[in-house]
């Protein structure tokens, strides 16, 4: 029997939704989290930009699963969607694909007042966001992240960009979305390895400044992976952490750098592995966070026990924590140091790292001696 | 005899300098105008960013004349310059050269806290400015415009960008310089045709909202071309006009569109001529302004006599005012309409033009009927 109660249980209800606000003055925006949001994209976007043309940037994998839902939803809400397809994977974050996307959006006659919708993971979000920032010197965009990584990290905060042959995310813009729709139902079709990679960024928020959240994750991570209400709670807590930092420091002149915990080592490894499937972004961040804690412990800044606890939790969910966990060849220590120096989080030659005095006690160390980093990497690279 | 008086006359003195401030809150900056400023670039930049690395983006023509002066000045002031060369001409405002410039700046290790110096005309300024905006999501830049066009227009106001195959300046950023150094001595080596092209933008400021300035130009244009104090006065008046508009409306949501007088027609013609030496930007703007006044007169918005006076002045300085003045083939009316529609100054299909009720009485017309523009172009294209 199709009773009202059964019908209400089948469709996502308002009670499943968490809504957060990123407070940035006239650039403030909402993050909505919950199942079934892609099917509501049209109504939610039309409420902000009625009648707009919408360039939907997406990759083939995501398009196969979700593009039909989104296009239908947009059309039904009186919007005019045009899909712009890119190849899946980090290689699309390059100048050539950036040019293709911008040209396709121009061909779709996306004007000021229209918008760009990023439908996909972090690659699509970063690329589409930079294209929106540069198109006609800036049109609005909406993030519809479909990976865990994008939902808890890249879709929130306005960092957009592409990679250069000199390193990752070295070219881009700060360009805030006008809305983020994190459909948690979309995560059900993610490969486990990709989900796990995103989980590294979830754990990061605990390690930065929220020790109780890290302890909660140690107890509840299986439920987060399993897809219960704990998953929505973990995503909401992560987004709230990121939103709070971004509100305080939109352009990364101060506190925001804390979000780079694990990223300076991590980006160098990711670049060293050629931004390939050998090492996903979150896997690189997991190794980078474990390294940041080991480096902090080696410098006497935090207890060895905290570094061990970080490593144990990441390994328990199946994430890598050591350079030796990366399959295949990597640059030597000189090569890694060079990649670290090209990371954009540098200031006049001194290295900036996010180090930790303990779990939930990360801080920005602006004058890290490169020779100590080199010595640490030499030890790290030795076969265990 | 090398008397103190003679020596004072030979070197530029503070009395030759005009300084204006573009008021944009924390993004405010100075425009300094006068002879000999390139030789002072080092001291003036070091006062703002002591010890910085400076990526100098320039073209071969400008480099031959001025790069040595600027590099020496920067080194003497304790800065570390690295030149980045691009080919002269509008063709350099493309994705491929943008990528080259960004990569070269990364190779020069330009970090946040360092800066990019645009040494050249409008092409170099637009390209270098966009590269600075995108590099590490934004580093500071200084404009050292060496053409009249760049001194009175493109170097002031923060519009940066490149062209797409869909049209001119469709990709870029609003990115304000931290300083503009307009060395009027650099204009002495400009070819007459290029100076004249820049003069079109000078005349534009009179036509927008300053009828007395236009009347002054009608009387004094020969002295402006000749290089007397009238030239500095004309440049300063132009920069002050632009600075006032930019301060009111940084991102072109309102009044700033007035600066596009002549540019909607002009950009379409420039694109139609393939952004080539057949038609320089200022020449296109001159034709576009004459067309804007003729179109306004044809619509009964302004007196035929005003349109005739605009055309007469532009022709007296040697600028073109008619499509027939452009050598070679151009797109047909359909082609030009398509180029006008792709211009970024459009809003949901209706065309926005800057029209005029008279000299110094320009205004933004947001709902121009495309069929009237088409009919006007048909008449304009008929052989006179």
**Tokens for B307?**
């349109």
Question: If we measure between CA atoms, which residue out of B268, B296, B288 comes closest to residue B359?
Answer: B296
Examine the fold and report which residue of A157, A189, A221 is the final residue of a domain before the chain moves on: A189
In the DSSP assignment, the letter for residue B112 is: B
**Tokens for A64?**
């196969």
Within 33-92 of A, beta carbons closer than 8 Å to B belong to 51
pLDDT value of residue B381: 81
Instruction: Walk along chain B (384 residues) and give the pLDDT tens digit of each residue.
Output: 333 333 333 455 556 788 999 888 888 999 999 999 999 999 999 999 999 999 999 999 999 999 999 999 999 999 999 999 999 988 999 999 999 999 999 999 999 899 999 999 999 999 999 999 999 999 999 999 999 999 999 888 899 999 998 888 899 999 999 999 999 999 998 999 999 999 999 999 999 999 999 999 999 999 999 988 899 999 999 999 998 888 888 777 778 889 999 999 998 999 899 878 899 999 999 999 999 999 999 999 999 999 999 999 999 999 999 999 999 999 999 999 988 876 545 555 678 899 999 999 999 998 898 889 999 999 988 765
**Tokens for B122?**
């409008």
Chosen for mutation from A52, A131, A134 (greatest number of chain B CBs closer than 10 Å) is A134
Mean pLDDT of all residues in A92-121? 96
Q: Are residues A207 and A288 in the same domain?
A: yes
Is position B99 within any domain? yes
Contact yes or no for B172 and A98 at CB 8 A: no
Q: Are residues B118 and B239 in the same domain?
A: no
Spell out which residues of chain A touch residue B173, defining contact as CB-CB under 8 Å: 133-134, 137-138, 173
ipTM of the complex: 0.85
pLDDT value of residue A10: 42
The answer, for A165 touching chain B at a CB cutoff of 8 Å, is yes
Q: What is the CATH number of the domain that holds B124?
A: 3.40.50.1970
Contact yes or no for A137 and B98 at CB 8 A: no
Is position A244 within any domain? yes
The answer, for B342 touching chain A at a CB cutoff of 8 Å, is yes
* Nearest-CA distance A255 → chain B (Å): 16
**Residues of B recognised as catalytic:** 137, 159, 201, 242, 252, 256, 260, 263, 267, 281
The answer, for A129 touching chain B at a CB cutoff of 8 Å, is no
Is position A238 within any domain? yes
Residues A75 and A39 sit within 8 Å (Cβ to Cβ): no
| 3-state SS string for chain B | CCCHHHHHHHCCCHHHCEEEEECCHHHCEEEEEECCCHHHHHHHHHHHCCCCEEEEEEEHHHHHHHHHHHHHHHHHCCCEEEEEEECCCHHHCCHHHHHHHHHHHHHCCCCECEEEEEEECHHHHHHHHHHHHHECCCCEEEEEECCHHHHHHHCCCCEEEEEECCEEEEEEEECCCCEEEEEHHHHHHCCHHHHHHHHHHHHHHHHHHCHHHHHHHHHHHHHHHHCCHHHHHHHHHHHHHHHHHHHHCCCCCCHHHHHHCCHHHHHHHHHHCCCCCCCCHHHHHHHHHHHHHHHHHHCCCCCHHHHHHHHHHHHHCCCCCCHHHCCCCCCCHHHHHHHHHHCCCEECCEEEEEEECCCCCEEEEEEECHHHHHHHHHHHHCCC
Contact yes or no for B172 and A137 at CB 8 A: yes
Examine the fold and report which residue of B188, B223, B254 is the final residue of a domain before the chain moves on: B188
Q: Are residues A304 and A329 in the same domain?
A: yes
Contact yes or no for B161 and A98 at CB 8 A: no
The answer, for A112 touching chain B at a CB cutoff of 8 Å, is yes
CA distances from B323 to B201, B244, B320, B337 (A): 18, 32, 8, 14
Contact yes or no for B348 and A167 at CB 8 A: no
Q: Are residues A229 and A352 in the same domain?
A: yes
The answer, for B366 touching chain A at a CB cutoff of 8 Å, is no
Nearest CB among A51, A173, A346 relative to B173 is that of: A173
Question: If we measure between CA atoms, which residue out of B295, B299, B323 comes closest to residue B310?
Answer: B295
Q: Are residues B137 and B227 in the same domain?
A: no
Site of tokens 């305080």? A248
The answer, for B94 touching chain A at a CB cutoff of 8 Å, is no
Q: How many distinct structural domains can be found in chain A?
A: 2
Q: What is the CATH number of the domain that holds A366?
A: 1.20.1090.10
How many whole angstroms separate alpha carbon A29 and alpha carbon A210? 24
How many whole angstroms separate alpha carbon B215 and alpha carbon B360? 10
pLDDT value of residue A15: 61
Nearest CB among A134, A159, A164 relative to B172 is that of: A134
Nearest CB among A135, A159, A165 relative to B137 is that of: A159
Chain CA centroid to CA B31, Å: 14
Search chain A and give the residue with CA nearest B52.
Answer: A348
- Annotated binding residues of A, as ranges? 122-126, 146-147, 159, 168, 201, 263, 281
Query: Cα Rg for chain B, rounded, in angstroms?
Result: 21
Q: Are residues A83 and A174 in the same domain?
A: yes
pLDDT value of residue A9: 38
Q: Are residues A200 and A174 in the same domain?
A: no
Nearest CB among B134, B165, B174 relative to A138 is that of: B174
Q: Are residues A141 and A184 in the same domain?
A: yes
Structural domain for A23, as ranges: 9-189
- Give the model confidence (pLDDT) of A192-213 as tens digits: 999 999 999 999 999 999 999 9
pLDDT value of residue A202: 98
Examine the fold and report which residue of B188, B212, B239 is the final residue of a domain before the chain moves on: B188
The answer, for A347 touching chain B at a CB cutoff of 8 Å, is yes
Q: Are residues B183 and B35 in the same domain?
A: yes
Spell out which residues of chain A touch residue B341, defining contact as CB-CB under 8 Å: 109
Is position B294 within any domain? yes
Is position A82 within any domain? yes
**Tokens for A290?**
């474990």
* Nearest-CA distance B230 → chain A (Å): 35
**Residues of A recognised as catalytic:** 137, 159, 201, 242, 252, 256, 260, 263, 267, 281
Q: Are residues A116 and A221 in the same domain?
A: no
Spell out which residues of chain A touch residue B138, defining contact as CB-CB under 8 Å: 173-174, 251
Q: In what order do the strands lie in the sheet with B362-368?
A: B346-347, B350-356, B362-368
Nearest CB among A130, A138, A166 relative to B107 is that of: A166
Is position B2 within any domain? no
pLDDT value of residue A8: 36
How many whole angstroms separate alpha carbon A31 and alpha carbon B222? 61
Is position A3 within any domain? no
- Give the model confidence (pLDDT) of B58-95 as tens digits: 999 999 999 999 999 999 999 999 999 999 988 999 99
pLDDT value of residue A280: 92
Q: Are residues A122 and A212 in the same domain?
A: no
Residues A78 and A263 sit within 8 Å (Cβ to Cβ): no
Range of lowest pLDDT (A2-11, A58-67, B73-82, B90-99): A2-11
Q: Would the annotation count B159 as a binding residue? A: yes
Is the pLDDT confidence value at A5 over 50? Answer: no
CB pairs under 8 A between A and B: 96
Q: Are residues A138 and A255 in the same domain?
A: no
Q: Would the annotation count B125 as a binding residue? A: yes
Q: Would the annotation count B263 as a binding residue? A: yes
What value does the mean pLDDT of chain A take?
A: 91
How many whole angstroms separate alpha carbon A143 and alpha carbon A156? 8
Chosen for mutation from B171, B345, B348 (greatest number of chain A CBs closer than 10 Å) is B171
Is the pLDDT confidence value at A7 over 80? Answer: no
Is position B4 within any domain? no
Search chain B and give the residue with CA nearest A253.
Answer: B112
């Amino acid at each position: 029997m199709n009773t009202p109660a059964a019908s209400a249980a089948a469709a996502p209800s308002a009670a499943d939704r968490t809504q957060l606000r990123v407070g940035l003055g006239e650039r403030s925006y909402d993050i909505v989290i919950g199942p079934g949001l892609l099917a509501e994209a049209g109504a939610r976007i039309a409420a902000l930009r009625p009648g707009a043309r919408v360039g939907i940037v997406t990759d083939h994998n995501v398009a196969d699963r979700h593009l039909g839902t989104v296009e239908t939803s947009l059309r039904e809400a009186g919007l005019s969607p045009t899909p712009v397809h890119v190849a899946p994977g980090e290689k699309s974050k390059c100048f050539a694909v950036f040019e293709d996307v911008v040209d396709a959006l121009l061909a779709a006659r996306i004007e000021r007042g229209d918008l760009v919708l990023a439908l996909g993971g972090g690659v699509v979000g970063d690329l589409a966001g930079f294209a929106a920032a540069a198109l006609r010197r800036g049109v609005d965009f909406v993030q519809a992240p479909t990976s865990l990584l994008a939902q808890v990290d890249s879709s929130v905060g306005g960092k957009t960009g592409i990679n250069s042959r000199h390193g990752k995310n070295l070219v881009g813009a700060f360009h805030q979305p006008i809305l983020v729709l994190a459909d948690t139902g979309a995560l059900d079709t993610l490969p486990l390895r990709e989900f796990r990679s995103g989980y590294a960024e979830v754990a990061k928020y605990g390690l930065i400044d929220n020790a109780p959240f890290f302890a909660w994750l140690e107890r509840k991570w299986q439920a987060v992976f399993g897809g219960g209400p704990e998953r929505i709670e973990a995503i909401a807590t992560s987004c709230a952490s990121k939103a709070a930092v971004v509100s305080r420091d939109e352009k990364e002149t101060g506190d925001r750098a804390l979000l780079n915990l694990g990223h300076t080592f991590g980006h160098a490894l990711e670049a060293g592995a050629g931004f390939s499937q050998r090492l996903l972004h979150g896997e690189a961040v997991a190794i980078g966070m474990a390294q940041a804690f080991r480096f902090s412990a080696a410098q006497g800044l935090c207890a060895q026990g905290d570094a061990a606890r970080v490593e144990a939790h990441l390994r328990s969910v199946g994430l890598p924590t050591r350079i030796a966990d990366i399959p295949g060849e990597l640059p030597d220590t000189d090569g890694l140091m060079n990649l670290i120096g090209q990371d954009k989080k540098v200031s006049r030659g001194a290295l900036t790292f996010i180090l930790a005095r303990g779990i939930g006690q990360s801080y920005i160390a602006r004058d890290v001696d490169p020779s100590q980093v080199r010595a640490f990497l030499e030890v790290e690279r030795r076969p265990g």
